[in-house]
Amino acid sequence: MRTASQATMGNPGVAFVTTHWSVVLTAQTRSRAADEALEKLCRTYWSPIYSFVRRDGRSVEDAQDLTQGFFARLLERRDFDAVRREKGRLRSYLLTSLKHFLINERQRAMSIKRGEGRGLIPLDEIVAHERTDPEPADELTADKVFERRWALTVLEQVLARLGEEYRAAGNAKLFEHFKEILADEAGGKSQAGIGQELGMTENAVKQAYHRFRQRYRELLREEIAHTVAAPGDVEDELRHLIVVLRQ
């Protein structure tokens, strides 16, 4: 059974019009839809911002405050005129804006109450992420840390969406097995082994995994489309993501 998102894949133009970043950029005035789209993007992509600030030499506490302050300011000011003119991508826009923000913050003391009341990014999420996320390699610059964390966040979003679809269809165990195969994790069962466990033939598992990968690619393109301003940028951004992950 095709989902609503699958149905739109046959018409990329329709699917793209409803993406979060395009909604934000095409809104000439503040609107509920644009505000919700921007806030969703901020909540989704806080991790690359926080990772950049930490690699830039800030303490955990300062990085938390700066990340909160950056997103609060972004939501309040919504200065996207330059982005509209340049048809910018969310990834590039956030990184450039963050660098300007940090330069300005170095020139003045940051208010403790900055961003108070918005509740944009729960601080416990940031603290938990700090504990579980491994430190990046020492040779990585702040820019490269941002890029890698950005790419990993995109993949995390794709797997989360795909997992929801499989669980809704009653295929949670199949999803977990396929996720291991996709990640090439050590100790993952063979497709024949998966079939034995789930009462499927090996051929049925192979076909199911083919559909899994196809849907994964579709969702990956949809997720990337949420962060670019024009449909033609999706493939370029996808290639960039692949290069970053291979480094």
Q: List the chain domain ranges.
A: 11-246
Question: And the tokens for 97?
Answer: 């804006």
Question: And the tokens for 42?
Answer: 């901020």
The DSSP string of 70-82 is HHHHHHHH---HH
Angle between helix axes 233-246 and 142-168 (nearest 10 degrees) is 110
Q: CB-based contacts of 245: which residues, under 8 Å, 6+ apart? A: 148, 151, 152, 155
Give the phi and the psi of residue 222 in degrees, each rounded to 5. -65, -45
How many Å separate Cα 179 from the centre of its chain?
Answer: 18
Residue 145: per-residue pLDDT: 92
Residue 121: per-residue pLDDT: 54
Residue 77: per-residue pLDDT: 75
Residue 144: per-residue pLDDT: 92
Ranges of residues in the chain whose predicted pLDDT is under 70: 1-19, 26-29, 78-87, 107-138, 185-188
Residue 188: per-residue pLDDT: 63
Helix (H, G, I), strand (E, B) or coil at 186: coil
What is d(CA 133, CA 51) in angstroms, rounded to the nearest whole number?
10
Helix ranges (DSSP H) in 133-171: 142-168
**Do 71 and 114 touch, CB atoms closer than 8 A?**
no
Residue 245 gets which letter from DSSP? H
* Overall pTM surpassing 0.85 (yes/no): no
